A and B are shown apart, each in its own frame.
Chain A
Amino acid sequence: MRLRSYLSSVILGLCTISSATAASWGFDDGSVSIHGKKAGVGAGAKEKLVEKKPLVKPITLGASETVKVLVTIKEDKKAKRPHQAFLRLEEKQSHLETSYAFAVKESGKGKVEIARKDIPAQLLASKDPLSASIIIGSFGTTKAYYSHAFDLVLEQNAESAVPPPEKPLRYGKLPEIHHKFRADPTSPPKIITLVFTAAVLFALPILVATVSLEWK
């Protein structure tokens, strides 16, 4: 028994060592920058990206600006072209997401540029920052890389305002409607009515009295 357990722990140890040395995808020289036609608030901002460490401060994307992400992809310290290299933008509230493919050269250098107009309308309307992650993967046993890289804040101002996309018809419950009834016809306060009724009723005796006075 003891020998068995000793052997199994040795095997387990070897296994962990071998998995630690398994190949995995990653990147070097990562950077994210904003390019725009004019010098806006975020234009010219450039930040370095490091594997598995998301940026603390979010990047702001203005109205007519483009965000450019550059990476040099490597498999275990060797620059290589993977099959899949995507930048994934996700909206945190609704979990809507889309991915943009990096254009990767033979040397492993990848570049992706996302203009404001490339972002789908459903994500553009978001008030929260979009979370951007990098996905690098390929066939074979090499471990793929998927980690949050930075947050992208969409600057909402007058010139960047895009009319929200028309909501498509979806079956679901509709708001309740309660018919508002017309007000019932009302009478004036009773005291006014009584005064005038008394005036009308007393008109007859007053008339009789006046006429009989004339006769006499």
Chain B
Amino acid sequence: MRWLFSCLLLGALGLVQALSSSGSRLLVVIEEITDKEKYSRFWVDLEGLGPALSPNRLLEFVNRNGNILLTLSGDSPTPTAISSLLLELDIHLPPDRTSLVVDHLNYDTLSASEKHDVLLLPQPSALRPDVRNFFGGDGLIAFPRGVAQELGNDSPHLAPILRAGGTAYSYNPKDETENVEDPFAVGEQISLVSSMQARNSARFTVLGSVEALEDTWFDAKVKALDGKQSKTANQEFARQVSAWTFMEAGVLRVGKVEHHLSSTNEKVPGNDSVFQLGYLNPKIYRVKNDVTFNLELSEYAYDRLSPLTILPADSLQLEFSMLSPFHRLNLQPILHTPNSTVFSTTFKTPDQHGIFAFKVNYKRPFLTNVEVKREVTVRHFAHDEYPRSWEISGGWPWIAGIWVTIAGWLSFVWIFLYSEPAYEKGKGKKSQ
């Protein structure tokens, strides 16, 4: 139902744009899970804007937590406004305004046997072993007349969703030369579907080919060069991309955040070895206290909250830091509820007093950012928390010295008070 609605939106907006911004096949779909009314006003604004659709307004929209799915087409020139908007995000489009991606080894022989501009790409696999893959599958995606994008290397916010094959390249069909001398981008450096997730977790996806979303391509029959015929997985891929862009997949929610003083008993295995002392979330701890930190995280998928699973190659980390982290520890899942997972770790507070913070900063490609910070004070040892003087064996000579001095003085006083001077017998006078 959700998907049907966004399909309609695409269509309706397409009409509007065709009327208002001359000839451009730009489709801007804006949708947010919770607050559709907020954005219906934006649509009204959009109709009024027309060719005055500026990069600044779209960036402002992203800054206000809006999500954008932008589609490009190889059939018509990309407006310079769009090129400059994407350049702000460090996504580079070919400088020639018309360009196509072709691949002479991975194309659909049924529809593009001459022009080779319909690429057949397998559904993408995970970018890295510690990154979740929301766009995977076994099918082939048909990508007709796509526009190549090259992603800048510096930004951690950019991630390619679908890359072209190693033999693909981008060229300008209006260029009359017989052989391409200096292509804009080649091979797997071409990103056909790129994603940008801003620091406020707003998502911006650039889809290189608007035709890939057409009904005809959703269940078309394609034939690869090696003769294998199959149906395209375009519908599933389009659903995955729009679900990710519009915050229906890969959204993390923070539940309870708790920390407490604990006592550890190494003899008991697992989580039962930690026992809470005192009340939850105190504001002050002491140097060298055993502290337990619990964090509840859930993942929102389509319509419900479910427990979050961290990939084995990845870890959720807690930093206990003052100006820089004194501890950086992996949080382990200890409890699964029907809607969430509770992650926990126990550690000893450092032997440095000051204002510390529990920080969880979990940012990964394709997942919304999780930033949790709780500040606590760590105080010194109190006067009665040190070992007693007689328990320190090195101090015994000094304690003995004190008592010997006291005893010596008292015995001198007693002897002095109760001793008589020596008198000579018969004289009655003190002897000199």
Contacts and interface: CB of A to CB of B under 8 A. Distances in A.
Contacts, number: 138
Given A101-B180, A200-B401, A173 B317 contact: yes
Interface in B154-170: 154-156, 166-167, 169
Interface of B: 102, 104-105, 113-116, 128, 130, 153-156, 166-167, 169, 171, 178-183, 186-189, 225, 288, 314-315, 317, 319, 325-330, 348, 350-351, 363-365, 392-397, 400-401, 404, 407-408, 411
A176 B167 contact: no
A98 B187 CA distance: 7
A184 B225 CA distance: 72
Contacts of B178: 81, 83
Given A97-B166, A101-B180, A208 B411 contact: yes
A103 B181 CA distance: 6
A84 B327 CA distance: 54
A interface residue count range (under 10 / 10 to 19 / 20 to 34 / 35 or more): 35 or more
A6 interface: no
Contacts of B400: 197, 200-201
Given A169-B156, A197-B397, A144 B105 contact: yes
A168 B167 CA distance: 26
B189 A168 contact: no
Interface stretch (A27-35, A49-57, A63-71, A131-139): A131-139
B376 to A, nearest CB: 15
Given A139-B115, A173-B315, A208-B411, A88 B153 contact: no
B283 to A, nearest CB: 21
B410 to A, nearest CB: 11
A204 B404 contact: yes
A213 interface: no
A114 B186 CA distance: 16
A188 B178 CA distance: 88
A193 B317 CA distance: 47
A172 B350 CA distance: 25
A138 B315 contact: no
Nearest to A175: B328
Interface of A: 81-86, 88, 90, 95, 97-99, 101-104, 135, 137-141, 143-144, 146, 168-179, 181-182, 187-188, 190, 193-194, 196-197, 199-201, 203-204, 207-208
Given A83-B178, A204-B408, A207-B408, A88 B396 contact: no
B415 to A, nearest CB: 9
A192 to B, nearest CB: 9
Nearest to B329: A176
A114 to B, nearest CB: 14
B130 A172 contact: yes
B179 A83 contact: yes
A-B CB proximity, top 7 nearest: A137-B104, A187-B394, A144-B104, A177-B328, A99-B186, A196-B397, A171-B363
Contacts of B102: 84, 139
13 contacts: A81-B179, A84-B179, A90-B166, A99-B187, A135-B104, A135-B105, A139-B115, A139-B116, A146-B105, A171-B156, A172-B314, A174-B328, A204-B404
A177 B169 CA distance: 45
Contacts of B330: 173, 176
Contacts of B187: 88, 97-99
Given A103-B181, A141-B114, A178-B327, A173 B397 contact: no
Nearest to B225: A143
Given A101-B181, A176-B328, A188-B394, A88 B189 contact: no
A123 to B, nearest CB: 12
Contacts of A95: 188
A167 B263 CA distance: 42
Given A99-B169, A104-B179, A173-B317, 6 more contacts: A85-B179, A137-B116, A143-B225, A177-B325, A177-B326, A201-B400
